[in-house]
């Protein structure tokens, strides 16, 4: 299985598939063989969940909210105080003299005007390099102002849904790819950046910096639709920005990685995720290796990292993150669920995985 092509296919709407047995690494097969005999009761999972929830500090969510608010306030301060540190808005800006252009907005402009402007190209290259390092869709969860208000609206949606006062209609994720093509064709045919007229990201960014306009009515209608009818509908099914940045981030060194060793496959991570299909590999027999990075559609928001009760999900910067090997007795095992056979299986799986990685590096 080519993980990069699979990741891109899922970005454009294809459902994740269960890997064949011959696609699983020897280390993964060994670990799953052990897990077949692991008995974890519902009561144990509830206890594990409750214990983690009680001690959870949601550190990644707090960091992300502070970063997102800080970036958008920097635009406001620069404009209000006329210090010219960060000029423009998220769609196109200049930071300390460096031109920066939102990749999706720049694509729309190029398609509409059928030409490539030098300043626009400079801005695109700058932003492209930045987001290929930082993770592509990291833009969505760490910078986009609509993501933040939609996340708050999602909390209200879930509260209402529990009481039967809101519905959650779902659509095929491939609809987003269809909209991506439609917005591109509209730009080519009309000569206007049609998407920018309705983009809640651009509307909110300009409203925060320069003051509110009637366009905020459109944003309010989107939020009402998400609150009462479809959870996170814009980001999941319509917004082309996610696809653009997802493509950029497919080879990013910054990613969330999954380690199946201690995972109890309880699904807490998928319950909180904006794009839960990227976490299908946490379902038993779905991960092709003991340790795997999440796909291109992952926004690196960190909600799954905060939610995971066994620390099986973590941020990693490939080549820089130092991960000390955990001793078997230090791993958070379930009560009355471990034995010498587990230790043997884990050690052997880890050894196989190390040998495979060493072979790949030598090649």
Give the domain ranges of the chain. 3-8+20-55+257-362, 72-247
The answer to whether residues 264 and 308 touch, using CB atoms and an 8 Å cutoff, is no
Query: What is residue 1's predicted lDDT score, i.e. its pLDDT?
Result: 58
DSSP for 290-314, written as a single string? SEEE--TT-----HHHHH-TT--EE
What lies within 8 Å, CB to CB, of 232 at 6+ separation is 150, 154, 226, 274
User: Which of 22, 10, 36 has its CA nearest to residue 279?
Assistant: 10
Report residue 246 as tokens: 């997802």
Query: What is residue 172's predicted lDDT score, i.e. its pLDDT?
Result: 95
φ, ψ at 265 (rounded to 5°): 55, 35
Report residue 56 as tokens: 């959870």
Report residue 355 as tokens: 């040998």
pTM equals: 0.85
Query: What is residue 339's predicted lDDT score, i.e. its pLDDT?
Result: 42
DSSP summary character for residue 18:
P
User: Which residues lie across from 272 on neighbouring strands?
Assistant: none
The answer to whether residues 304 and 247 touch, using CB atoms and an 8 Å cutoff, is no
Residue 220 CA to residue 222 CA, distance in Å, equals: 5
- Using the structure block, give the residue that is written with the tokens 């003991």: 290
Report residue 168 as tokens: 């959650």
Which strands make up the sheet holding 98-101, listed edge to edge?
86-89, 92-95, 98-101
The answer to whether residues 11 and 173 touch, using CB atoms and an 8 Å cutoff, is no
- Using the structure block, give the residue that is written with the tokens 């910078």: 143
The answer to whether residues 3 and 163 touch, using CB atoms and an 8 Å cutoff, is no
Whole-Å CA distances, 70 to 76, 129, 219: 10, 21, 21
The answer to whether residues 137 and 249 touch, using CB atoms and an 8 Å cutoff, is yes
Grouping H, G, I as helix, E, B as strand and the rest as coil, residue 100 is: strand
| Averaged pLDDT in 10-residue chunks for the chain of 363 residues | 86 92 90 84 80 84 96 93 86 84 92 87 90 93 97 97 95 96 96 94 95 96 98 96 94 93 91 94 92 94 94 90 54 41 51 54 47
Catalogue the long-range contacts made by 164-170 (C-beta closer than 8 Å, 24 or more residues apart): 165/228, 166/227, 166/228, 166/229, 167/228, 167/229, 167/230, 168/229, 168/230, 168/231, 169/229, 169/230, 170/230
- Using the structure block, give the residue that is written with the tokens 């034995």: 339
Q: How many residues does the chain have?
A: 363
């Amino acid at each position: 299985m080519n993980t990069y092509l699979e990741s891109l296919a899922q970005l454009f709407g294809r459902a994740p598939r269960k890997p064949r047995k011959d696609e699983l690494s020897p280390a993964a097969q060994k670990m799953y063989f052990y897990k077949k005999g692991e008995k974890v009761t519902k009561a144990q999972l509830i206890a594990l969940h409750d214990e983690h929830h009680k001690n959870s500090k949601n550190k990644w969510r707090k960091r992300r909210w502070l970063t997102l608010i800080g970036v958008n306030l920097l635009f406001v301060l620069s404009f209000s105080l006329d210090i010219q540190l960060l000029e423009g808005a998220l769609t196109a800006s200049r930071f300390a003299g460096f031109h920066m252009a939102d990749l999706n907005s720049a694509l729309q402009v190029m398609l509409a005007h059928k030409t490539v402007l030098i300043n626009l190209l400079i801005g695109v290259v700058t932003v492209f390099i930045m987001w290929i390092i930082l993770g592509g869709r990291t833009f969505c969860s760490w910078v986009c102002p609509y993501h933040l208000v939609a996340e708050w609206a999602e909390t209200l949606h879930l509260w209402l849904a529990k009481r039967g006062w809101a519905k959650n209609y779902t659509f095929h994720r491939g609809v987003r790819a269809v909209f991506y093509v439609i917005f591109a064709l509209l730009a080519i045919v009309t000569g206007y950046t049609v998407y920018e007229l309705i983009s809640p990201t651009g509307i909110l960014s300009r409203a925060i910096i320069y003051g509110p306009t009637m366009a905020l009515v459109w944003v309010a209608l989107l939020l009402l639709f998400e609150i009462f009818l479809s959870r996170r509908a814009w980001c999941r099914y319509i917004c082309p920005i996610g696809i653009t940045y997802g493509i950029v981030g497919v080879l990013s060194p910054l990613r969330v990685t999954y380690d199946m060793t201690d995972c109890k496959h309880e699904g807490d991570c998928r319950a909180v995720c904006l794009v839960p299909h990227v976490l299908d590999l946490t379902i038993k027999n779905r991960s092709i290796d003991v340790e795997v990075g999440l796909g291109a559609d992952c926004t690196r928001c960190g909600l799954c990292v905060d939610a995971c009760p066994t620390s099986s999900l973590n941020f990693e910067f490939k080549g820089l993150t130092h991960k000390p090997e955990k001793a078997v007795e230090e791993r958070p095992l379930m009560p009355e669920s471990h034995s010498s056979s587990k230790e043997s299986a884990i050690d052997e799986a880890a050894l196989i995985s190390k040998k495979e990685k060493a072979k790949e590096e030598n090649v």
